[in-house]
Structure 1
């Protein structure tokens, strides 16, 4: 890794480093070290997202401009109530590259922060979180987003034949998660039906009414016996 040949002019242009070559105060030490090791810096502003990555032994800066279908403020606000989904795509609309991401934003009550998950890269982790919520509406919404992503990927296989193998790999991940979600939905449905059945038994179970009627008859007989005893004593 070569830190002496950083593309300083480009880094200044995008505010990653200052005129004195120090890194922006918006980046903590961990961010800086990861960036120098090839990790991507992400910057969000309204519906726009820019990613920055050092390449070629830290001599070049790769910049990609993306656009969301929703503003970041809207996403953060809505995610505090329910899981929020958003699509991100390449603004350049390059015919040689396919850049499309579907994200899920979940509010973490323990850290009081909104956490971003990718529906492909974080598929298993995200599905596990959905399952733990045991919320039929959230499960159905998640499956719907997976189905839309699957449809998108299927369409792109023909459009990007040179990337067909990579797209097919992502498609398999999405299809597998859909199968897993179907299993989760089935269990949730069975649980709901069981709960309904339990309620109906409590209200409509003939044994319950028979027991109640029998108790009423027994109480009536006891009252009659007491009354006879009182009359006899008189």
Structure 2
């Protein structure tokens, strides 16, 4: 018997109500963005406002609206993400050379960050990159150096996490090797903070792909509402794409003389 079958009618009603509220929040967020795009297209009277204050307010309003959209998008994909999620710490637990030495060099604060409970919660990698400082421009055979990285994760309980890591690399012949890496900082983030740092288009693409997993052995584990969740996600994505297009059109007119 599935977990859905074990839920009471009251629990199912509460879940449906939560979904309805989330859809309404997203609709309001999209409507807010639409108004912002319309205002940009129509232009403002330069003498009627302080442009720096308005710019800050509009930027904050946009982040809030995009954060609401991201929240629902994450809720939609969580059932699929739970099928493939792995603890964040697992990505940094591979055997490596002199890891204890590196961790000691990183200090006591980094050691405390490595104790964060969310590092052991299954998570889905959303975005991130590693900078092998100088390795691809100046390194020669035998050289060693440092790399830094930052990554964002969605936990299966819905929390959003940012992780910074530090490591070392070495060039052996023509091969660049990632010698060791360790977590030096980790924090929980709000959706607003995430949309302020990650390119939202890339994030939507990654989340949408998670709804179309075709990994062997997983097909039968999809929850019954997969089709509905895919449709809802694409509806949000289509509306947001339209807004982005209208925003781009408005930006192209910035600086044009009125009338």
After TM superposition, the score normalised by the length of structure 1 is 0.30
Which protein, 1 or 2, shows the higher relative CO under an 8 Å CA cutoff with sep ≥ 6?
Answer: 2
Larger Rg: 1
After TM superposition, the score normalised by the length of structure 2 is 0.27
